[in-house]
Structure 1
Amino acid sequence: MTDLLGSQLTEGAVSEPQTSTPTPARNPEVMLYTRLRKSPYFWKSRAHGVAMYSVYNHTYHPRHYGDPVAEYWHLLNSVTLWDVGVERQLEISGPDAFDFTNMLIPRDLTKCRVGQCKYVFITAPDGGIINDPILLRVEKNRFWLSLADSDVGLWAMGLAHAGGWDVEIKEVDVAPVQVQGPRSKDVMVDLFGPSILDIPYYYLHAYQLHRMDVVVSRTGYSGEIGYEIYLYNATENASRLWDAVWQAGQPHDMRVIGPCHIRRIEGGMLAYGSDITLDTNPMEVGYDYKWMVDLDQEADFIGKKALRRIQSSGISRLMVGVEIDGDPLGSYNDGSMIEPFEVLAPSATHHETVGRVTSACHSPRLERNIGLAMLAIEYTQLGTNVVVETPTGPRGAVVVEKPFIDPTKRTPRS
């Protein structure tokens, strides 16, 4: 018999389509479509030529605009504008807002004034890290959590309902942009006037800009001098704010970039989902983060008992800095590090896995490969040699101090 296409078939037989092994795409695309969310600044940042997106808080996030290394140098030498509308703002308000928020985090909120910001962990009952947001105390009983990449809103709503807390928890229509780099103060003065220079590091102040309400904080994810501008009614006003900041930045050589992972790795800054997850507890992320947990405070925050046990019994692994031999690894956010790198003991006969490199890149100014690595505690002494399995083969590495640059954060505080 003959089918409609004219091919010969045997009576009773089933025809199988011809198959061949597909050639995998070197850089497969991520589809842009309706189901994933967009930052209020999505179309404005896209107009600057986004070359690569990732997904963060269920939202498309611009990672870079074609040349991450050039973006890195521009951040170090001039001023940059970032679309960080993916940092969803979870607002906690109401009569119990202070006590409820204090229960969520291991830092003591009695030491956080109105108008102050804190970098915080949100911990699970076993001490695992659920999120690491910036907390902004906007009013006495109104807090914003500027979220990293996890569904903290659902966690907080469940706790509030189960505990009968008198709080309102909601995602508000507030979205930030970041202005980062040594010339960021010049741009911000042009926008808001000289009073902007009076905002201390990790504090905030409310302003109006062209009849738009904003909160400006002296914060950022760059390790450089910088600010975040949190825009109220962002869905409506995002384009107006973006244009105002961009226009103010033109005399100062402003460039739109993505979050600069080279610089954040140099600064030892953590990326949720990469360096820390629910399976990581605060005691493991390194002694340069010991101030993130206050076990002596009066508040019985979630995870306190577990973290006391961990402190008493000791940890079995620790996050350290490593320098990695060989050719440049890339900029991390350019698709050069799809999976963590396995770390092996340097034995010639027994290649025991002792941890993994969670973030790594080539630092142009240090002229070497650097990374953050979670290693078994016996391999975390400075100067310890290990082997790192990279996509191009095994490389020698050595444990070094982190952060790699500016450990006391003198630059962003200046």
Structure 2
Amino acid sequence: MMQTQEFGFGTQIRKSPYFDATVRWGAQGFSVYNHMYIPRDFGDPEQNFWNLVNDAILCDVGVERQVEITGPDAARFTQMLTPRDLSNMAVGQCKYVLITNGEGGILNDPILLRLAENHFWLSLADSDILLWAQGVAVHSGLNVKITEPDVSPLQLQGPKSGEIMRALFGDEIMDLRYYWLRELELDGIPLIVSRTGWSSELGYEIYLRDGAYGDALWERIMATGLPLGLKPGHTSSIRRIEGGMLSYHADADTTTNPFELGLDRLCNLDMDAEFIGKFALQRIRDNGVSRKQVGLILDCDPLQGPNTAFWTVFHEGEAVGKVTSAVYSPRLQKNIALAMVSVECAGLGTELSVARHSGEMTARVAERPFYDPRKSIAVANRA
């Protein structure tokens, strides 16, 4: 255990209920996400990746803030925010959704949880959807209440996470299906548990509903999980890029639309329900897009960590796009990347070049996700 030390972003950057516990358990560096500290360094990121894919890791993702939508018109209002059809969403179900603006641009790509008939959570990526939703509500004419509840998620991810969950909650937890949730208690601590996560591995998210229990919950899970191979960790850039998972502000922003990302399945544009951006998205669908997200294999020495800038992509000397996320995968033994390029250069096998500060490298368009494209690992029922 390392000695507690000061991390200095100032008082305007909030700490999660697990902050002190993560420092005790070895967090050496933090980034900022949704105006909060998030642990980004528990030592070697490659070892963190192997811990995730071979065993299990526990991650403080309290930065995944919840927007809580309640009131008689909660279901209708929630549908207004997203182009995904929610009419068949059951209580207890989760869905990956996009929040779009009037031009069809992506504001966030959260997980939506339905806790009750008129009770929803948007579990956010890194942007201020609480303010957006409250602003939309003001002039919506709908009877809804939009708040940020005292909720802080943890991610328990990796092939041994099911075994650890069984040790914590008993055999009943093993029939929790992919993208469903359950209301539970652990030692009197109020929780929501879902079969979701940002890893493309078998995994669970454990939503603490009272921040006073943050330390106790972290220690309880680690004490139970240690004998089963659990390690403290952080969300893995290597694994999420292997899995083709988006990082908001990197791979998508307000100028990016769902069709450019190949997320047409999340847009039900012919449903009767109204939602923000409907006409813009119909126009984009009908007219087609000029650029698309692709996977790239980069031909260079192993990258020493993820990219910290957007790298320009060239085709025959002309700039045609940018690399948004890149990393070396020790499992694939390749440099892999997500990039946004013009549609003319998006075909599989297209040869491109990428410019970064240390020089130019060749690249080739490849299938994405790079590993387990059908997400069979995350979906598999390990009961």
- Output aligned runs, 1:10-409, within 5 Å: 31-234=8-211, 236-286=212-262, 289-332=263-306, 337-345=307-315, 347=316, 351-409=317-375
| Contact preservation (8 Å) 1:77, 1:181 | yes
Q: Give the 3-state SS of the residue equivalent to 2:222 in structure 1.
A: helix
* C-alpha deviation, 1:47, in angstroms: 1.4
Deviations 1:29-52 (A, max 9, x none): 983321211111111112122222
Q: Supply the AA of the counterpart residue of 1:62.
A: P
Cα distance in 2 between the residues matched to 1:327 and 1:86:
33
| Contact preservation (8 Å) 1:381, 1:399 | yes
Q: Supply the AA of the counterpart residue of 2:332.
A: L
Structure 1 stretches lacking a partner, 5+ long: 1-28
Q: Give the 3-state SS of the residue equivalent to 1:359 in structure 2.
A: strand
Cα distance in 2 between the residues matched to 1:89 and 1:107:
19
Rg larger for: 1
Sort the Cα spacing of 1:297 and 1:330 in 2 relative to 1 into closer, same or farther, 3 A.
Answer: farther
TM-score for both structures, normalised by structure 1: 0.89
Cα distance in 2 between the residues matched to 1:190 and 1:134:
26
Cα distance in 2 between the residues matched to 1:399 and 1:270:
18
Cα distance in 2 between the residues matched to 1:191 and 1:174:
20
Cα distance in 2 between the residues matched to 1:30 and 1:237:
22
Cα distance in 1 between the residues matched to 2:46 and 2:164:
23
Cα distance in 1 between the residues matched to 2:351 and 2:363:
6
* Greater mean alpha carbon deviation, residues 295-304 or residues 137-146: 295-304
Structure 2 stretches lacking a partner, 5+ long: 1-5
Deviations 1:186-208 (A, max 9, x none): 11001100111111000001111
Q: Supply the AA of the counterpart residue of 1:375.
A: V
Q: Supply the AA of the counterpart residue of 1:364.
A: P
- Give runs of ≥4 in structure 1 deviating > 6 Å: none
Q: Supply the AA of the counterpart residue of 2:300.
A: G
| Contact preservation (8 Å) 1:38, 1:59 | yes
Q: Give the 3-state SS of the residue equivalent to 2:259 in structure 1.
A: helix
Deviations 1:58-103 (A, max 9, x none): 0011112111000001101001100000001110000010000001
| Contact preservation (8 Å) 1:215, 1:231 | yes
Deviations 1:282-336 (A, max 9, x none): 01012xx32111112121111110000001111000000000001011332xxxx
Q: Give the 3-state SS of the residue equivalent to 2:146 in structure 1.
A: strand
Deviations 1:112-157 (A, max 9, x none): 1100000110000000000010100011100000011111000100
Cα distance in 1 between the residues matched to 2:22 and 2:10:
17
Cα distance in 2 between the residues matched to 1:35 and 1:78:
36
Deviations 1:208-264 (A, max 9, x none): 110111010000000100000011112x11111111111110111111111101000
Sort the Cα spacing of 1:30 and 1:314 in 2 relative to 1 into closer, same or farther, 3 A.
Answer: farther
Cα distance in 2 between the residues matched to 1:32 and 1:50:
15
Cα distance in 2 between the residues matched to 1:390 and 1:292:
33
Q: Give the 3-state SS of the residue equivalent to 2:37 in structure 1.
A: strand
| Contact preservation (8 Å) 1:64, 1:259 | no
* C-alpha deviation, 1:54, in angstroms: 1.0
Q: Give the 3-state SS of the residue equivalent to 1:60 in structure 2.
A: strand
| Contact preservation (8 Å) 1:69, 1:331 | no
Q: Supply the AA of the counterpart residue of 2:331.
A: R
Q: Give the 3-state SS of the residue equivalent to 1:66 in structure 2.
A: coil
Cα distance in 1 between the residues matched to 2:116 and 2:35:
28
TM-score for both structures, normalised by structure 2: 0.96
> Aligned pairs, how many?
375
Alpha carbon RMSD of aligned pairs, Å?
A: 1.1
Cα distance in 2 between the residues matched to 1:247 and 1:62:
20
| Contact preservation (8 Å) 1:119, 1:133 | yes
